[in-house]
Amino acid sequence: MIISQIIVLSECIKYRLPTLYNPRQRQFWNWNHLRPYLTFLGILTGGLLISYLIFGGQYWFIELLGFAVNYFCFLNFFMFWGLK
């Protein structure tokens, strides 16, 4: 599943429409090549893996991960709801 998502991401990067630079628009996910995406995902995965290996047995760490996922999901939901 992850490999198929990376293939779809590479195809989206290859065939995306050209965009004009807008200084007010966030440019974090607006990369032109697949390598920055893979670098970011590798660093994120490695950091989460190391933190899980260190704190994985702690109840508060698992609760913190669950809270962070829910917080960012709701944050994105309300942000995109406002753009509607």
37-84: pLDDT as tens digits:
999 999 999 998 999 999 988 999 889 988 988 888 888 787 777 666
Report how many domains make up the chain. 1
- Residue 13 and residue 5 in contact, taking contact as beta carbons nearer than 8 Å: no
Cβ-proximal residues to 13 (8 Å cutoff; 6+ apart), any chain: 31, 32, 33, 34, 37
The model scores a pTM over 0.85:
no
Task: Work out the pLDDT band at 22, boundaries 50, 70, 90.
Answer: low
Instruction: Measure the CA–CA gap between 37 and 21, rounded to whole angstroms.
Output: 19
Alpha-carbon distance of 17 to 30, in angstroms, equals 11
Element (H, E) at 18: none
What range does the domain containing 50 cover? 2-83
Q: Which helix (H) or strand (E) holds 55?
A: helix 34-55
- pLDDT at residue number 46: 95
